[in-house]
Amino acid sequence: MDFFAIQKRREFFQKLTGGLGTIALGDMFARTGYGAPVSANPLAPRKPHFAPKAKRVIFLFQEGAPSQMDLYDPKPLLNEWHGKSLPPSLTKDMKLAFIKPTAAVLGSPRKFKKYGQAGMDLSDLLPHTASIADDICLVRSMQSDQFNHHPGQLQLFTGHNQVGRPSMGSWALYGLGSESENLPGFVVLSSGVGTSGGTDNFSSGFLPSTYAGTQFRNTGDPILYLTNPAGISDKTQRARLDAIRDMNGFHQAQTGDEEINARIHSYELAYKMQASSPELLDFSKESQATLDMYGIGKEPNAYATNCLLARRMVERGVRFVMLMHASWDHHSGINQNLPKQTKTTDQPSAALIKDLKQRGLLEDTLVVWAGEFGRTPMSEMRRPEDADNAGRDHNPNGYSIWLSGGGIKTGQVIGKTDDFSLNILEDKVHINDLQATILHLLGFDHLRLTYRFMGREFRLTDVHGELVKKLLA
C-alpha cells in the first residue's frame, strides 16, 4: 500500500465517520505494518505487566563459547580418559561442527576450588569471579538448539535462529522505554576480535528502528560523525534539525508511519548526545580505587573500559547495555589461549558486580555473563603434529553461565551435567527459558509481550520458554 493510497483512505474515513473512522484506519495500519501516529518520544518510560525486580540489564556476552569444563564445571574424569574415545552410547546423538564422535577426550590442566557459602567450584583461571561467588547464580545446565556461532547467537538474543527478529535488548526497550533523555536506551559495546552474529545480535528486526541497539566506541567520538564538522555552529545545527523535524513531522502526520517518528527521535537524540557523550567517556572523576578495581590503566583493556562504561550508562538511565567480547572460540591452543581471555575478562566482570553493589545499583540491575553455547570434552586437533595445539569443538548441551542482581537468587548453583559435560542430568535451562526469566525480572509475562507483524503475534521466546523459578530470589 503506497503513501498516496493511505492518505486517500484516511481522508475517506475521516469524511465518512469522523474520529471513529480514523481509529479504525489506525488499527488497520498497525496490522499491515503502518502504525497510527505515535507519541513525540517513542522511548518514553512505560509500565510493565507487573512490578519488576530489575529496571535494567547488562549482558556480558562472551562470543565464541567459553569452555565450561575448564572454568565452571569441573570434570576430573576427563584426565582419566585423556587420549581415549568415549563410548558410542554417549556420543551418538551429539551435534558436532568440526570433529567426529570418535575424537579423543582432552583432559583439563585446570585446578578447581570451592568458594562462597554454597561451595561453588570455580577454576584457577577465575580468581576474581571467585571473590563474588556469593553474588552470582551459576547455571551449569544451559541448552541451545544450535551448534554454530551465527545461529547460536541469533537464538540467544532473538529467540530464533533466523535473521530479522528483534534482539532481547530491543524487546526490553519496546516494553519499558528508556529512562535516559540524552543517551540511547539500548547500547552495544564491543571488544575482542569480531562477532559472528554481528549487527543481527542487536537489531530491532521488525520492531521500529528506534528500538535497535546503538553501537558505541570506547575511545574518541562514541559514534562516528557525532561531532559537527568545522564551521557548523550549534545554532546552525539546531536550525537544520528543526527544519528536518518539521518536514518529517508533516510526512508522519500524513502517513502514520512509525519509522518516520523513529527518525525524528534519532535526530533529536543525536543532538543531545553531542553534549552528553564526551562526559560519559570522561573517567577523570572516577577514583583511582575504582579504576584499579576494573584493571584500567595498567595496560590497554577495552573489555575493562566497557565494563566501567556499562556502569556509567545504567547510572544515566540506559535500559539495556550489551558487551560483546569475542575471542573465546578455542578450536586450537585452548590451554594457551583460554588464560589470555580470562586475564582480560575475569577482573573487570567481577569489578562490575562489586561496583554496582557498592553504589546500590545491583539490586535492580540484572547482569548476565554468557556465551552462545559451550565446548566438547573431546579434542579438536587442527595440527596433529603439535600436541599443544589441541582445542575443543562446539557443544550446545550442558554449558555454563552466571547471573547476578535484579531479583536473582545468588550464592547457588543450578543444574548438573554428566561426568563429561555431554548431557544435562538436572534442571535443564533452555535459552528460551532464560529469555522468559529475564523478561519476568523486568516485569513482563513473556507470553504477553508481543508485537503484531505479518498477520501474527511475535514474542522474544518464539513459541517456547518457561520461567525458571529456581533463579528467582
pLDDT reported for residue 395: 95
pLDDT of residue 251: 61
Q: What's residue 231's pLDDT?
A: 56
Per-residue pLDDT reduced to its tens digit, 10-32: 554 444 444 444 444 444 444 44
Q: Is the dihedral of CA 248, 43, 10, 7 positive or negative?
A: positive
Alpha helix ranges (H) inside 295-378 = 302-315, 334-358
Distance CA 194, CA 186 (A): 20
Rg (CA), the chain: 24
Task: Give the list of residues 6+ apart from residue 193 with CB closer than 8 angstroms, or none.
Answer: 326, 327
Q: Is residue 353 part of a domain?
A: yes
Q: Assess if residue 128 is contained within a domain.
A: yes
**Residue 187 maps to a domain:** yes
> Residue 238 domain-assigned?
no
265 in a structural domain: no
Per-residue pLDDT tens over the stretch 167-203: 999 999 999 999 988 899 999 999 998 667 789 999 9
Q: Which domain holds residue 123?
A: 46-219+281-471
Q: Which of 248, 259, 268 is nearest to 208 (CA)?
A: 259
Q: Structurally, how many domains does the chain consist of? A: 1
Q: Hey, CA dihedral for 333, 334, 338, 341, is it positive or negative? A: positive
The domain that holds 163 is classified in CATH as: 3.40.720.10
The reported pTM is 0.84
Higher pLDDT, 282 or 116: 116
Strand partners of residue 402: 138, 369
Contact by Cβ (8 Å): 135, 362: yes
Q: Is 302 within the bounds of a domain?
A: yes
Q: How far apart are CA 272 and CA 214, in angstroms?
A: 15
Residue 355 lies in a domain: yes
371 neighbors 349 (Cβ within 8 angstroms): no
- Let me know if residue 247 belongs to a domain: no
Does position 4 have pLDDT exceeding 60, yes or no? no
Instruction: Please provide residue 355's backbone torsions phi and psi, each rounded to the nearest 5 degrees.
Output: -65, -45
Confidence at residue 264, expressed as pLDDT on a 0 to 100 scale = 54
With 0-12 CB in 10 A as exposed, 13-18 as middle and 19+ as buried, what is 182?
middle
Residues 293-352: tens digit of each pLDDT? 999 987 889 999 999 999 999 999 999 999 999 989 999 999 999 999 999 999 999 999
Residues 6+ apart with CB under 8 A from 114: 120, 121
